[in-house]
Amino acid sequence: MIVGGNETVLVQGITGKQGTFWAERMRDYGTRIVGGVNPKKAGSEHIGLPVWGSAKEAAASQPIDVSVLFIPPMAVKAAVLDAVEAGVGTVVVLTEHIPSHDVMHFLAAAREAGTCVIGPNTAGLVTPGQSFVGFMPAFNERIFRPGRVGVISRSGSLGTLIALNLVQGGHGISAFIGIGGDPILGTTTRDALVRLDQDPNTDAVVIVGEIGGAMEEEAADYAHGMSKPMAAFIAGAASPPGKKMGHAGAIVMGDKGTYGAKREALEAAGVRVVPSPSMIADALGEAMGAV
């Protein structure tokens, strides 16, 4: 789930407006975009790249490491299954509002095949100075300056704000992993934390969480055994119980998934939790100094 500059990347839905725009931005930044998929335009070229009828056809021409989907909700299931059957190692699902039963179906197929799914409803992945996959402003060095801090976020916009504050505070980013804001995800906060803990280019980790679900609490269980310093911001401190807030996954039921429960779990694991994104750089600096 950390994409450097060597992986081959396929864009499913490359001929659409968003697929075209972001394929060009990713390629300009250094991402190895090898082509795209549109069943109605197979055999043609688009922005100087080949267009195949399916991911399986693309994989028959050359190995595909990563596929990113600019696909409408009702067509995502078939597109992910196509990528999984093509043997793609990582599938990045940007789309939101996908039917839940479709998500469960393609996540089960991906798990059985050993394919890593990022999302749905993710803004993507960034490895500053090397590549990005999705629709993040990786090309803005005020936000994504290369460095040694890994960032995990359920929100693209909040993750961007945290990265900006880290850079302004003198830190740099080793990798940004946007896991997505839906209640059913292919990659959890804990999954991403394990990956960053294993990453030799990451010295510290920041978690950007939200109310709802139990992903931050599960990540806190893993954080207990980590030596890398950590800081976190959890959005939704003032939200009322039982009300859905923004992301589909940000809903609190009873005492499950509350801001207080997440903060308590993270702080018990030694993570410095801040009440405002503007405080994240100083908190992380203190945590790094304390190690």
DSSP at 41: G
User: Which of 78, 50, 53, 65 is closest to 9 using CA atoms?
Assistant: 65
Say if CB 49 and CB 33 are below 8 A apart. Answer: yes
Sequence-separated (6 or more) residues with CB below 8 Å from residue 244: 250, 251
**Four-CA torsion 6, 191, 188, 95, nearest 10 degrees:** 10
Residue found under tokens 């803990």: 197
Distance CA 23, CA 21 (A): 6
**Four-CA torsion 283, 289, 290, 291, nearest 10 degrees:** 120
Q: Is 247 a catalytic residue?
A: yes
By DSSP bridging, strand 124-127 and strand 131-134 are antiparallel
Q: Catalytic pick from 46, 105, 171, 247? A: 247
| Amino acid identity, position 105 | H
Catalytic positions, written as ranges: 247
